[in-house]
Amino acid sequence: MAAFSLLSRGGSFNKKRFQKDVERFNATKVNGSEVSSGPIASTSKAELPSDLDFFKYARKDTGKRKATKEAAEEGHDSDEESQLGQKRRKLEDKAGTSKPSKQRVVAKGTNVPSACSSFEDMQEKYQFPSQLMANLESSGYLSPTGIQENGIPILLESRDLAAISPTGTGKTLAYLLPTFAQLGSPIAHRKDGESSKGSGVRAVVLAPTNELAHQIHNECLKLAQGRKWRMVLFSKATASTLADKAVREKIDIIISTPLRLVAALQSGHLELDNVRHLILDEADRLLDSEFLEQVNEVIAACSHPELQKAVFSATLPANAEKVALGMMRDPVRIVVGLKDTPLPLIAQSLTYVQTDASKLPTLVTYLSTSYEPPVLIFTSTQSRASSLAEQLVLHGISNVDCLHAGMTKKEREDTLKRMRAGESWVLISTEVMARGMDFKGVRGVINYDFPTSVQSYVHRIGRTGRAGREGTAITYFTDQDAPFLKAIANVLLQSGSTVPEWILKLPKASKLKRRQMGKVKRGDQVTTSGRIGRADAIRKRFVCILTYIFVSNLSTN
Ligand SMILES: Nc1ncnc2c1ncn2[C@@H]1O[C@H](COP(=O)(O)OP(=O)(O)OP(=O)(O)O)[C@@H](O)[C@H]1O
């Protein structure tokens, strides 16, 4: 990996020598306004349909805001506005993300709590600590997104919730804010008599990958600043520290993957009987056959009668939704935007490459001309991800990184750090990065290998176009992928991207066929020649030897 990293990144970068390249990546000022002449072009703030404008890009002044603005221009301050509120508005004006516009929200359930269109309204109504408000502001969260406007009041009214909202629309805050607001004092700092919340862990957030759990933990740290809540990201190391009952009694929140938590429960080193809030992030993944048993074990351990359950995802197929609603009490279900549909901020396209061998030259050509870094590239397996990263480095592409579950924890962490620091321009990964990961600046996603399902497609491409930014998503397809093309083309159509006429005319694949989407056979290695890779060759030879032994045994008997 070290040699790979050196090849990819080089030892040092001579800015003088590569002046032209530096200029391409730096924004320059033309006529006083900021433009970019290079691959990092500035995001245009296109007008969006209001019901899909999750981050209020289509900015409109409402009467109240207009009046406040006019008053401010005339040198008057509105009496109604708190100082914090005014500060927020100024920041909003600066960021260009002000004022909620109407979004399409469908809510189902009995007595659905009404939405709150600002964090101030939420605080006024539900009286949560002012420190939380200050932390929202310092994190740059000025006004709530659709899922936050609707989901936070539901959770604050202690209702169970199944929430579906597109990728990158702020679901994490939608469940963390109400959780913190209801948590009460940190256990470790409770005054005498404050025992109504009992002792031991009071909130659990489950996520399907370590990386996502880590990211949620970081979000918790931001929101809880100034409060002494103890938040634990469950890992092997923390699990052994928590084996001490006196230590784990003082924990307020645990963020974990199901497997780790179940291991601690089974070894008797964790009790969840005081948990009041259980959240499943990426719920459809957590409720699929790989995780369901573990998730059920966690749910069974959360035995407090006041347990509130919430599930969040950008996609929730009917079967997962049935399981989710089945484990809740009088739940509310909300869908923000269109179900299973990416935001129109993501410009999606399909690229025909005929065979697997044609993908590499297509990608190298793309990355050799002016593209907008960073891009995230998805392959179907770990070995193909590593192999593609090596090939790109060999083809002279700069700042290539790779991340998959086969790498060590340290390697994965280092890669993520480089990505967040903007040092990675091309990150190649597998499904492990497809869900939840939030790199705000990702300009594009390339599905080098066809996604394994419609849900996989929606989550993969959702790594771009986050928090109101624009992005592009390119999906390569070969002849082998053709039977599954229509299903993905429908997603493009639904979210406003154009699809060639001939694809729309393709017959609809049967349910059985669609299930095979993720099972297309590809070589272990990425090659330009169309030859099968080394690992495939070894496997083939092994099969030949076994067949030979089997046949010779038959003939001797
Ligand atoms: N109210 C807000 N104002 C501005 N930015 C926000 C707000 N809420 C969240 N964000 C930012 O939006 C980005 C996406 O948030 P988040 O990761 O929670 O999305 P998500 O809906 O959970 O996406 P995914 O489905 O991919 O998991 C984050 O960078 C977050 O900091």
Q: Which residue's CA is the closest to the ligand 1 atom numbered 13?
A: 467
Query: Which among 416, 423, 378, 376 is positioned nearest to 398, based on CA atoms?
Result: 423
CB contact set of 39 (below 8 Å; sequence gap of 6+)? 24, 25, 370, 371, 372, 373
Tens of pLDDT, residue by residue over 312-359, are 999 999 999 999 999 999 999 999 998 889 999 999 999 999 999 999
Q: Kindly tell me if the per-residue pLDDT of 135 is higher than 70.
A: yes
Q: Per-residue confidence at 453, pLDDT binned at 50, 70, 90? A: very high
Give the CA angle between residues 415, 42, 10 to the nearest 5°. Answer: 35
Q: Per-residue confidence at 73, pLDDT binned at 50, 70, 90? A: very low
Q: 105-188+197-336, what's its fold?
A: Rossmann fold (3.40.50)
Per mean pLDDT, which range of 86-95, 106-115, 253-262, 458-467 is the poorest? 86-95
**490 phi and psi angles, rounded to 5 deg:** -65, -35
Pocket test for ligand 1, best of 59, 97, 98, 169 (most atoms within 8 A of CB): 169
CATH fold match for the domains 105-188+197-336 and 346-543: yes
Percentage of residues in the chain having pLDDT higher than 90: 61
State the closest ligand 1 atom to the C-alpha of 169, by its place in the atom list counted from 1.
Answer: 21
Handedness of CA 257, 259, 262, 267 (dihedral sign): negative
Q: Per-residue confidence at 200, pLDDT binned at 50, 70, 90? A: confident
Q: Per-residue confidence at 81, pLDDT binned at 50, 70, 90? A: very low
The pLDDT, as a whole number, for residue 52 is 45
Q: In angstroms, what is the span from residue 117 Cα to ligand 1's centroid?
A: 17
State the closest ligand 1 atom to the C-alpha of 215, by its place in the atom list counted from 1.
Answer: 17
Largest CA distance in the chain: 102
Mean pLDDT across 374-392: 97
Q: Kindly tell me if the per-residue pLDDT of 189 is higher than 50.
A: yes
Per mean pLDDT, which range of 57-61, 192-196, 277-281, 317-321 is the poorest? 57-61
Alpha-carbon gap, residue 214 to 204, rounded angstroms: 14
Per mean pLDDT, which range of 150-159, 209-218, 518-527 is the poorest? 518-527
Q: Which residue's CA is the closest to the ligand 1 atom numbered 9?
A: 170
Q: Are 308 and 339 in contact (CB under 8 A)?
A: no
Q: In angstroms, what is the span from residue 173 Cα to ligand 1's centroid?
A: 7
Query: Which position has the higher pLDDT, 84 or 444?
Result: 444
What does 484-534 look like in DSSP terms, one character per residue? HHHHHHHHHHHTT----HHHHTSPPPPHHHHHGGGG----SS--SS----H
The pLDDT, as a whole number, for residue 379 is 97
Tens of pLDDT, residue by residue over 13-71, are 445 554 554 454 444 333 333 333 333 333 333 344 444 444 443 333 333 333 333 33
Query: Which position has the higher pLDDT, 12 or 46?
Result: 12
Q: In angstroms, what is the span from residue 169 Cα to ligand 1's centroid?
A: 5
Q: In angstroms, what is the span from residue 459 Cα to ligand 1's centroid?
A: 14
Q: In angstroms, what is the span from residue 466 Cα to ligand 1's centroid?
A: 7
Q: In angstroms, what is the span from residue 299 Cα to ligand 1's centroid?
A: 26
Radius of gyration of the chain (CA): 25
Q: Per-residue confidence at 103, pLDDT binned at 50, 70, 90? A: low
Q: Which residue's CA is the closest to the ligand 1 atom numbered 12?
A: 467
The pLDDT, as a whole number, for residue 48 is 43
Helix (H, G, I), strand (E, B) or coil at 277: strand
Q: In angstroms, what is the span from residue 56 Cα to ligand 1's centroid?
A: 13
Alpha helices in 251-348 (DSSP H): 258-266, 283-286, 292-301, 318-326
Q: 346-543, what's its fold?
A: Rossmann fold (3.40.50)
Q: In angstroms, what is the span from residue 440 Cα to ligand 1's centroid?
A: 9
Alpha-carbon gap, residue 374 to 397, rounded angstroms: 12
The pLDDT, as a whole number, for residue 29 is 37
The pLDDT, as a whole number, for residue 383 is 97
Prediction pTM value: 0.80
Rounded to a whole number of angstroms, the distance between the first and last alpha carbons of the chain is 50
Query: Which position has the higher pLDDT, 538 or 33?
Result: 538
Q: Which residues of 200-218 are buried (b: 16+ CB within 10 A; e: fewer)?
A: bbbbbbbbbbbbbbbbbbb
Q: Are 187 and 203 in contact (CB under 8 A)?
A: no
Pocket test for ligand 1, best of 171, 286, 345 (most atoms within 8 A of CB): 171
Q: Per-residue confidence at 239, pLDDT binned at 50, 70, 90? A: confident
Alpha-carbon gap, residue 541 to 269, rounded angstroms: 48
Q: Kindly tell me if the per-residue pLDDT of 464 is higher than 70.
A: yes
Q: Which residue's CA is the closest to the ligand 1 atom numbered 4?
A: 141
Q: Domain map of the chain by residue range?
A: 105-188+197-336, 346-543
Pocket test for ligand 1, best of 438, 458, 470 (most atoms within 8 A of CB): 438
Per mean pLDDT, which range of 114-123, 176-185, 287-296 is the poorest? 176-185
Q: In angstroms, what is the span from residue 436 Cα to ligand 1's centroid?
A: 9
CB contact set of 262 (below 8 Å; sequence gap of 6+)? 294, 297, 298
Q: In angstroms, what is the span from residue 174 Cα to ligand 1's centroid?
A: 9
State the closest ligand 1 atom to the C-alpha of 282, by its place in the atom list counted from 1.
Answer: 27
Percentage of residues in the chain having pLDDT higher than 70: 74
Q: What is the mean pLDDT of the chain?
A: 81
Q: How many residues does the structure list for the chain? A: 557
Alpha-carbon gap, residue 148 to 130, rounded angstroms: 18
How much is the ipTM here? 0.99
Token pair 């070290």 is at which residue? 2
Q: Kindly tell me if the per-residue pLDDT of 402 is higher than 90.
A: yes
Residues with CB under 6 A from ligand 1: 140-142, 144-145, 148, 165, 167-173, 314, 436, 438, 440, 462, 466-467
Q: In angstroms, what is the span from residue 456 Cα to ligand 1's centroid?
A: 19
Q: Per-residue confidence at 529, pLDDT binned at 50, 70, 90? A: low
